[in-house]
Amino acid sequence: MEPSDEIRRVMLRFIDSVTDGDEEAVSVRFSRQAGVERFGSDPAEWWQDGESAVLVWQQQMREMGGYPWRRIADVHAMTEGTVGWASARLEFDSPIEITPLRLTCVLHLEHGDWKIVQCHSSVPSTNEEHGFMLTTSVDDIVRDVSTARPDLSSTSAPDGTVTIVFTDIEDSTTLNGFLGDDRWFQVLRAHNEVIGEVTSEFGGTVVKNQGDGFMLAFPSSRTAVRCAIATQQHIVKRFNDPGSPVRVRIGLHVGEAIRESDDFFGHAVSYAARIASKATGGEVVVSSLVHDLVGQTDEFRFDEPRLVELKGITGPQMLYPVLLDAAGG
């Protein structure tokens, strides 16, 4: 999978066409092949063929004089072969207030032109409104762990250090919208099984799991890196269907494991989480401390280091991506 500027530009033009009420532009963008679906926010808005989706959308544009929506962020677009997908954050003027909207589309290359085969627009609402108290970011895990301060003495090395690993699914919110809730929960269950099984295999501890985010702990940095590499390999094997574009980001850091230490819970945990946020899907990225510890052997290879800014950390920080294909030699 790779970013697609072509699909991004196609979607930008499509969004503008809908805004302007251009019925012909909307019509030609939808595929007429079997299997097309369009979902809207209203419970009745579910059309399962391209012709119906286009006819209703055109009628809605006439009734509103064009869709009153505006982009509030750039389109995010990806592609693999003849399949692409895109998402955008929008807002629209309703009779009551300005309302946020999320748009996701799946596109298929037909005779050299990208056609929409699945489209889903929805008004975001909080999990709490539906009776769920679910984590929505790795930051929530950091806050929970910093407050609870779990005893990691059994997971620490003889010198009192512990290697912290954070993992999460890249663009999980977009992926959820792309797959739909039922399919997303299936993917999330399979993903969580992989993380749990591989962590156990390498003698690690799952400190916290919320949503698609995990905090893991290991007594050895070398074992933690091995586990991270194995995790990426297992994720690729489990999600080898192009319709399940699951890519995991992994970040590692090492720090003191003393339960009472503010330095550990206030710095090492958040530092590891920040590193994970700088990884791209499919990557394992380590701090300079982990790099120095494991780099004394020839077991692992690293890509060019990156000098980055980490949220909440003063000054630029050096991070090291692990070369997965060259590791373990």
pLDDT in tens for each of the 329 residues of the chain?
A: 788 999 999 999 999 988 888 888 888 999 998 888 888 877 778 888 888 888 888 888 887 777 778 888 888 899 989 999 999 888 887 766 788 888 899 999 999 999 999 998 877 665 445 444 444 455 666 665 555 555 565 565 656 678 999 999 988 877 777 777 778 888 889 999 999 999 999 999 998 888 888 989 998 999 999 999 999 999 999 988 655 678 999 999 997 655 444 444 557 788 888 899 899 889 999 999 999 999 877 899 999 999 988 877 778 889 999 998 755 44
Residue that is last in its domain, among 99, 122, 145? 122
Same domain, 81 and 181: no
Determine contact, residues 103/121, Cβ cutoff 8 Å: yes
Q: Give the pLDDT confidence score for residue 227 in this predicted structure.
A: 97
Same domain, 257 and 182: yes
**Residue 147 belongs to domain with CATH number:** 3.30.70.1230
Residue that is last in its domain, among 72, 93, 122? 122
Determine contact, residues 65/21, Cβ cutoff 8 Å: yes
Could you give the C-alpha distances from 80 to 96, 108, 248, in angstroms and in order? 40, 10, 17
Does residue 59 lie within any of the structural domains?
yes
The total number of structural domains in the chain stands at 2
Q: What is the DSSP pairing of strand 213-218 with strand 161-169?
A: antiparallel
Same domain, 317 and 198: yes
List the structure tokens of 5: 């500027």
Determine contact, residues 155/162, Cβ cutoff 8 Å: yes
Same domain, 160 and 31: no
Residue that is last in its domain, among 73, 92, 122? 122
Does residue 96 lie within any of the structural domains?
yes
Q: Give the pLDDT confidence score for residue 182 in this predicted structure.
A: 79
Where are the alpha helices (H) located in the chain, listed in sequence order?
5-20, 23-29, 50-64, 138-148, 172-179, 181-201, 221-238, 262-263, 269-278, 288-294
Q: Write phi, then psi, for 326 (nearest 5 degrees).
A: -95, -10
> In this structure, how many other beta carbons lie within 10 angstroms of the beta carbon of residue 136?
14
Residues whose CB falls within 8 Å of the CB of residue 149, separated by 6 or more in sequence, listed in order: 259, 260, 265
* Host H or E run for residue 113: strand 113-122
Same domain, 77 and 141: no
**Residue 43 belongs to domain with CATH number:** 3.10.450.50
Per-residue pLDDT reduced to its tens digit, 110-146: 999 999 999 988 776 654 454 444 444 556 666 655 5
Q: What is the dihedral angle through the alpha carbons of 308, 309, 311, 317, rounded to the nearest 10 degrees? A: 70
Does residue 326 lie within any of the structural domains?
no
Where are the alpha helices (H) located in 202-297, listed in sequence order?
221-238, 262-263, 269-278, 288-294
Same domain, 168 and 304: yes
As beta bridge partners, residue 88 has: 103
Does residue 288 lie within any of the structural domains?
yes
Q: Give the pLDDT confidence score for residue 264 in this predicted structure.
A: 47
List the structure tokens of 125: 């609402």
Does residue 328 lie within any of the structural domains?
no
Same domain, 90 and 174: no
Same domain, 24 and 173: no
Per-residue pLDDT reduced to its tens digit, 56-98: 888 888 877 777 788 888 888 999 899 999 998 888 877 667 8
Does residue 175 lie within any of the structural domains?
yes
